[in-house]
Amino acid sequence: METLAENRSFGGVQGVYRHASETCGCDMTFAVYMPPQAADGPVPVLWYLSGLTCTHENAMTKGGFQEHAAKHGLAVVFPDTSPRGESVADDEAYDLGQGAGFYVNAKREPWKPHFRMYDYITQELRGVVEGMKGIGGRHGITGHSMGGHGALTIAMRNPEAYDSLSAFAPIAHPTQSDWGRKQLSAYLGDDEGCWAVHDSTLLMEEHGWKDDILVDQGGSDQFLDLLKPEALAAAIARRRQAATFRMQAGYDHSYFFVQSFAGDHVAWHAERLK
């Protein structure tokens, strides 16, 4: 693993690293914030999955997580959203290809050789992070938009691997949205039966989550029709899932929304991870 940068931040260290990924078949870059408490022993971990067009850097620099993580003694992992490089397939559209991995394992060409973000997050990068000094054994997961979709679906499919779960404005019903049908068809094929395991609304109805969930959604989000928060909220109600689903009046889909409630989410995870 190559260290690209390490900067002091709120008494801890914000690092950026690169490694050769066997899962994605290319070099992958990710960031980890280690709070000051990690100097005294292992700390819990919060995974933050980013949305469309983002790299590891967007939430790292715009989300405002470091101050809250330092206060509560959490490490925060910021993975990239897709494989990258000249040999990696791409598309002219912003919502397909590089920057738009959708946290699935692609089954169709030309995406299949590299686009294996589900395995990368849940297995390979998990192993890399767990091998870092100061990382403890309890993990929570959250994310924004496409990353909120990733956090919800990954946690509900792997409840033994995560101890807390939240999301910011997740793509909540991708099998019924243009932010989902296009990508799931491209990556997985036209058999919609294969899509269900990547839809948090359908997973909520079938499996639910082992504990409570926190979801924040901007009430003035310009992408509400694509995100379909009402579908997830209805599934939560039907299952009688323990959850807090907050419509935040006046907030849009930007990182101003994320940073406004980052402190709430970090504190919420810290309470459950400790």
Angle subtended at Cα 272 by Cα 271 and Cα 274, rounded to the nearest 5 degrees: 70
Is 173 marked active-site? Answer: no
For residue 22, the tally of other CB atoms under 10 A from its CB is 11
Terminus-to-terminus CA distance in the chain, angstroms? 29
Catalytic position from the list 21, 50, 82, 145: 145
Catalytic position from the list 50, 82, 221, 265: 221
Q: Distance of CA 98 to CAs 51, 55, 143, 159, 223, Å? A: 12, 10, 18, 28, 21
CB 226 within 8 A of CB 178: yes
CB 101 within 8 A of CB 73: no
Is 145 marked active-site? Answer: yes
What DSSP line would sit under 72-93, residue for residue?
HT-EEEEE-SS--STTS---SS
Could you tell me the two tokens for 216? 């924040």
Catalytic position from the list 72, 149, 253, 265: 253
CB 233 within 8 A of CB 204: no
Angle subtended at Cα 117 by Cα 43 and Cα 137, rounded to the nearest 5 degrees: 20
Active centre residues (catalytic) = 145, 221, 253
